[in-house]
Amino acid sequence: MNNKNPLNEPNPARYDVAIVGCGPTGAVLANLLAECGHSVLVLEREAGIVQLPRAIRFDAECMRVFQSIGLLQRLKDQVSAAPGMKFVNAAGELLIEWQRPVELGDHGWSACYRVHQPALEQALRERLHERPGVTLLSRHDVFALTEHADYVELRYENMRNGELLTSQARYVIGCDGARSLVRRLMGSALEDLQLHERWLVIDFMLKRPMPALGDYSIQYCDPQRPSTYICGAGDRRRWEVMVMPGDDLAQINTPAWIWECLSRWIGPDDAEIERCAVYMFHSVVAQQWRRARLLIAGDAAHQTPPFMGQGMAAGIRDAANLAWKLHAVLTGGAAEALLDTYASERVPHVREFIEGAVRFGDIIQATDSEAVAARDARLSCAIDAFRTPEPALGPGAHDGLPAGLAGQVTPQFRLADGNLMDDLTGYRHLLLCRPEALALASSLVDASVICRAAEEPAMLAWLERLNACAALIRPDRYLYGVASTTNDLEPLLSRAFALPPRNHDSPRSNCA
């Protein structure tokens, strides 16, 4: 034991936030908190980045988060835009076409990107190492948390030498995966959304180009063996095959079985197996995401089947939602109750994606002959042109009105100088105003809020659709609310930031 830091004596240094786990969710959260100027301790049990291709997709909303933390230069050679997904039956007939356009869309990015998770994690950690306020300790395993009135004491082991250590943090966030210790110590049970199936996941590295495989992901809704093909980053390709009754679990992940199973698509002369593993696809949501100074995010809070490719994306959305709220509470800009809006907003949002994945799972995994026939008849009569949902947040830190707008993710506009709006904003609030409202709006906010006139036609058209003089956009790019006229500006900002009363003798002018 290190006599300078015995287990029963708290470390005199107190971090603003400690994060347990440095997967994509934890690394994004640490980067965002550091972007806000906070001290962050990250404790990771593994010695280094796991060099396995787990998550292989993220969406445009995630790209905006990466943009906010300065990751684009590192990612530009690591990712590529991915088209959509097709669902076909055993006869090869198209059932569902999920369009994900590769051209730049409303977020300023393509709808979906391929990525090799270890490369993404490497980029995130490199960015963390550039930040003086972040301490990242790998091979350090947390085993106890003790809650106090104004901080949490963490006890953890340096697994390299057995040294027992303590640190303190004002808040602790469990980004420690499906078997989360933090969630268990919180006593949070999991709500089961009723999809649990075993699938064999096989990742390949191509030995030669195979354009016939195509760029689209394909769900083979074949009752004899439901399967999925995914075109990964670079030369990586993935197949997922459902484990069927009667399969010998000792045989199905052997090379001989795999090559025979996938022989109509690929063989040992075409590719080499990078890894294979049997997974139980789960659909669960934690019932409690916060207990006082303990919170959870990512797989610790929710787990989804992979049929919508939203597992990692959901964790990144958690981080983007939570970081600015922690910042507001840590700096005294908001009461602790703001942290309760993290779960109230995110749970309905993530449930919509998980429930969508479960519905897809019911389509893909159908094996009963009558159910399969009914499915094929229903879907082949009118091909379902599916679009990626953008659900609204649940009730929380937004106005909730106008209905269908506040609590929705906002577009990212291209500025007149060619730059993207988020580059100007950073991870801060943005008050986007009609030009005639800019002077008043600027007088009502401090430097923590970017105030900008909407001079570009697309911005003005968006405000027109909102019937708004100004729109307040949160750091996570969701709409807080709108001011219909300049008379509504101060009430809007007061609701958002609890502004002190203002001298109402100042002249105002309405804007349409």
* pLDDT given at position 381: 64
Q: What angle do CA 356, 340, 314 make, to 5 degrees?
A: 30
Query: How many domains does the chain divide into?
Result: 3
- Mean pLDDT over residues 84-110, rounded? 90
What's the CATH code of the domain at 246? 3.30.9.10
Same domain for 503 and 436:
yes
Q: For the chain, count helices (H), then strands (E).
A: 13, 26
Same domain for 63 and 174:
yes
Using the 3D structure, point to which of 281, 309, 325 is the last residue of a domain.
281
Residue 392 belongs to some domain of the structure: no
Residue 371 belongs to some domain of the structure: no
- Could you read off the pLDDT of 239-294 as tens digits, one per residue? 999 999 999 989 998 999 999 999 999 999 999 999 999 988 889 999 999 999 99
Residue 386 belongs to some domain of the structure: no
Nearest-angstrom CA–CA distance, 329 and 344: 17
152-158 vs 163-174, strand pairing mode: antiparallel
Nearest-angstrom CA–CA distance, 355 and 305: 9
Using the 3D structure, point to which of 249, 281, 313 is the last residue of a domain.
281
Residue 2 belongs to some domain of the structure: no
pLDDT band for position 378 (cuts 50, 70, 90): confident
Same domain for 449 and 505:
yes
Nearest-angstrom CA–CA distance, 455 and 294: 43
- Could you read off the pLDDT of 220-242 as tens digits, one per residue? 999 999 999 999 999 999 999 99
Same domain for 222 and 321:
no
User: Which residue in this structure is represented by tokens 């995110």?
Assistant: 346
What's the CATH code of the domain at 471? 3.40.30.120
Token readout for 395 is: 């009730």
Same domain for 236 and 131:
no
Using the 3D structure, point to which of 254, 281, 308 is the last residue of a domain.
281
- Mean pLDDT over residues 316-322, rounded? 98
**Strand, helix or coil for residue 418:** coil
* pLDDT given at position 74: 93
* pLDDT given at position 7: 35
* Helical packing angle, 24-35 and 117-129, nearest 10°: 30
- Mean pLDDT over residues 472-498, rounded? 94
Same domain for 164 and 58:
yes
Q: What range does the domain containing 315 cover?
A: 14-76+115-192+284-346
Residue 95 belongs to some domain of the structure: no
Q: Which residues pair with 333 in a beta bridge?
A: none
Same domain for 296 and 212:
no
Residue 233 belongs to some domain of the structure: yes
- Mean pLDDT over residues 54-61, rounded? 92
* pLDDT given at position 385: 66
φ/ψ of residue 105, rounded to 5:
-115, -155
Q: Which residues pair with 167 in a beta bridge?
A: 154
Q: Give me the DSSP letters along 348-395.
A: HHHHHHHHHHHHHHHHHT--SHHHHHHHHHHHHHS-EEE----PPP-S
- Residue 24, classified by CB atoms within 10 Å of its CB into exposed (0-12), middle (13-18) or buried (19+), is buried
For residue 92, what are the contacts with CB-CB under 8 A and spacing of at least 6?
A: none
Residue 356 belongs to some domain of the structure: no
Task: Please say if the pLDDT value at position 35 is more than 60.
Answer: yes
Same domain for 209 and 184:
no
Same domain for 121 and 242:
no
φ/ψ of residue 435, rounded to 5:
-55, -40
CB atoms within 10 A of CB 368: 10
- Could you read off the pLDDT of 145-200 as tens digits, one per residue? 999 999 999 999 999 999 999 999 999 999 999 999 999 999 999 999 887 889 99
Same domain for 277 and 288:
no
What's the CATH code of the domain at 336? 3.50.50.60
Residue 484 belongs to some domain of the structure: yes
Q: What angle do CA 332, 338, 339 make, to 5 degrees?
A: 105
Same domain for 439 and 480:
yes
Same domain for 300 and 417:
no
**Strand, helix or coil for residue 330:** helix
Alpha-carbon torsion 212, 213, 219, 223, what sign? Answer: positive
- Could you read off the pLDDT of 193-203 as tens digits, one per residue? 887 889 999 99
Token readout for 329 is: 């509470």
**Strand, helix or coil for residue 425:** helix
Q: Are 88 and 226 in contact (CB under 8 A)?
A: no
